Amino acid sequence: MVIRPSKIFLFEVLRKSIQSHPCAISLDAGAAGFKNRWMFLHGSYYGLDLDLQRLRTGLASTSGTSNTFGIHADVSHLEALPTGSVGCVVSTNTLYCLPPEDRLRAIQQLCELTSPDGIMLIELSCDEAFAQEVDIAKRYFTSVEIFYFKNIFSRWYEHFFEKNGFLGSHPIAEKKPFKAIAWLFSRVEYLTRNSAKLNRHTLLRCAKKRDQAAHPFDLSRIPRLDERLFTLLNDETGTR
């Protein structure tokens, strides 16, 4: 069980949204070691990340599957991928870490990748760039839902147990009674999900793409580092 109340809420909304929208191709942008892979039950999963070692770790953990792939790429430079080709685009714990200019470009790129009947789910922070980020999403989608989360109560709980920015190193945070308490705190996230003032993060759920042609997710011209790992970069150091 996840031990951050805010993440429990986020993963519940993500899982329900992903699993209610089955599709042939899903892209997890900022996949790291494929932390979200378990949510994707349909079609092929492509985990995209700039950290090559974490991609290899994720691929190694799914070595028995034939529908899991990695893409070594910078999320703000995805021009080589076919537009309108991905049925489910997801990005968590990634975009808000980018510099503002790269973040806006990355959001636009992910919007472009989403297929006409697809869905895009991206985690953002409630900062000065948020309104501009929502405007980009609304240019591409007629349905843009905003889920605010990481409220003052979850932040207090997580700050109390954090040690070096990580709850897992706290001696009691992972014990069953405190996991149950974290789950109870996560219920409050549902009560405050419409409040921008009480929360620090958001999840945008975007659907009903505006006019754009659909294209097949054809990576036949994309170089491979191995059988299940593609690259949009010139070398393994991350140079475009």
Q: What is the CATH number of the domain that holds 54?
A: 3.40.50.150
Residue at 101 is within a domain:
yes
Task: Say which residue the tokens 């790291």 belong to.
Answer: 32
Residue at 114 is within a domain:
yes
Residue at 239 is within a domain:
no
Q: How many CB atoms lie within 10 A of CB 121?
A: 25
For each of the chain's 240 residues, which pLDDT tens digit applies?
468 899 999 999 999 999 999 999 999 999 999 999 999 999 999 999 999 999 999 999 998 899 999 999 999 999 999 999 999 999 999 999 999 999 999 999 999 999 999 999 999 999 999 999 999 999 999 999 999 999 999 999 988 887 666 665 566 777 888 889 999 999 999 999 999 999 999 999 999 999 889 999 999 999 999 999 999 997 655 556
Show the tokens assigned to 196.
Answer: 């921008």
Show the tokens assigned to 206.
Answer: 């975007």
Distance CA 47, CA 34 (A): 6
Model's pTM, two decimal places? 0.93
Distance CA 110, CA 80 (A): 12
Q: Which domain holds residue 83?
A: 22-149+198-231
Residue at 13 is within a domain:
no
- The pLDDT assigned to 167 comes to 61
User: How many Cα atoms sit within 13 Å of 134 on the Cβ side?
Assistant: 16
Number of domains observed in the structure of the chain = 1
Under DSSP, the state recorded for 37 is G
Residue at 9 is within a domain:
no
Residue at 133 is within a domain:
yes
Distance CA 60, CA 57 (A): 5
- The pLDDT assigned to 237 comes to 54
- The pLDDT assigned to 212 comes to 82
Residue at 113 is within a domain:
yes
Residue at 128 is within a domain:
yes
